Amino acid sequence: MVSPNFYLSFRAQRGISQFCKVWDVSLDMAKTKIMIQQLRIAIQKSGRLYDDSISLLKECGIDLRNVKDRLKTESDNFPLEVFFLRDDDIPQYVEDGVADIGIVGQNVLYEKRKEAEIIEELGFGKCRLALAINRNEEYVANYLQGKRIATSYPALLQKYLDENKITAEIHEISGSVEIAPGIGLAEVICDLVSSGSTLFMNGLKEVETILESQAVLVRNKSLDKEHLELVNKLLFRIRSVKKAKRNKYILLNAPNDQLSKIFELLPGMKSPTVLPLAEEGWSSVHSVLSEDEFWEKIEQLKAAGAQGILVVPIEKMIV
């Protein structure tokens, strides 16, 4: 396979018409070869996933040209074109291949039931799709039977009702679902809850969870080899960033006679780094510690005689 760079430089050297004659390819084909190496990603243009999506790309070392109030932008240092879209439209764009990949909430992805493959859970935009009722109502068995439920997620709600053999009336509305009980449109709402403050401010309480959701990276199901390679390149960076966030770099001082105990607690990536301190009989130990076991390990390290413990964030982690 001749690389697009080669086409480009060849074109520059010989002129496009001669290039086409020599290689017996049409001008259009040559153009597609050159354009094909760009990956197109769809992200939410505003709302709950916007900031984290942009930060993730930045942390992956991808610089984007002025992103504010744009529908489309590009990167100068990664072959990436970014489309800013309504989150509800992202699954369709990815299914159709207008975008190769997208960052979208599972809530939207499952509601739209489009053909897009999840390739990575991104760990942000966590929320749940839940049922809520008036705070003063008692939530008794069969409460939902025959009720009116307002939602922007009719498909997910219907699935839940079917699975639980409940007959209820779904009122689909596109926004401000939380005011539905207050204006007499419905007794129940089915909406996203993250901090819970929207429900609280509207005098509602959560009674059932329908779906736990977070942002995911999705891809079109039939990407070609070149695009898949770019996706994998991006995915490698995303995983390094995620891994770094889950881990901390730890430095501590310990008496030499306690080192074996400390090594057991801190296996590190291969094994810990040990440097002698100026003070006789003491060493400095450097290692990596996972966020999940962080506090527990710190206590055990202190008990094993560790002192002057420093913990610092890791920017990227390649293993």
Q: Which of 216, 200, 213 is nearest to 127 (CA)?
A: 213
Tell the residue number behind the tokens 């489009």, with chain if given: 114
Chosen from ligand PRP, Zn ion, none, partner binding at 175 (C-beta under 5 to 8 Å by type): ligand PRP
Q: Report the nearest approach of ligand PRP to the CB of residue 82 (Å).
A: 20
Does residue 123 touch ligand PRP according to CB under 6 A?
no
Residue closer to ligand PRP, measured from CB, 175 or 184: 175
Q: Specify which residues 40 forms β-bridges with.
A: 81
Burial of 150 (0-12, 13-18, 19+ CB in 10 A): buried
35-94 residues near ligand PRP, rule: CB under 6 A: 47-48
163: its two tokens: 């699975």
* Cβ proximity of 91 and 114 under 8 Å: yes
Nearest residue to the partner ligand PRP, using Cβ = 198
- The site that binds Zn ion (CB under 5 A) totals a number of residues, namely 1
Rg, Å, the chain Cα set: 27
Eight-class DSSP state of 214: -
22-81 residues near Zn ion, rule: CB under 5 A: none
Q: How far, in Å, CA of 314 to CA of 288, rounded?
A: 9
Residue closer to Zn ion, measured from CB, 75 or 106: 106
Among positions 123, 154, 196, 268, the unique one binding ligand PRP when judged by CB under 6 A: 196
Does residue 191 touch ligand PRP according to CB under 6 A?
yes
Residue closer to ligand PRP, measured from CB, 128 or 237: 128
The backbone torsions φ and ψ at residue 69, rounded to the nearest 5 degrees and listed phi first, read 55, 35
Distances in Å between the alpha carbon of 315 and those of 20, 106, 120?
47, 27, 20
User: Interface with Zn ion by CB under 5 A: which range of 87-95, 242-250, 263-271, 291-299?
Assistant: 87-95
User: Interface with Zn ion by CB under 5 A: which range of 84-92, 196-204, 210-218, 261-269?
Assistant: 84-92
Q: Report the nearest approach of ligand PRP to the CB of residue 127 (Å).
A: 7
* Cβ proximity of 263 and 272 under 8 Å: yes
Among positions 13, 136, 142, 197, the unique one binding ligand PRP when judged by CB under 6 A: 197
Query: Binding residues for Zn ion, per CB under 5 A?
Result: 87
Query: Binding residues for ligand PRP, per CB under 6 A?
Result: 47-48, 175, 177-178, 191-198
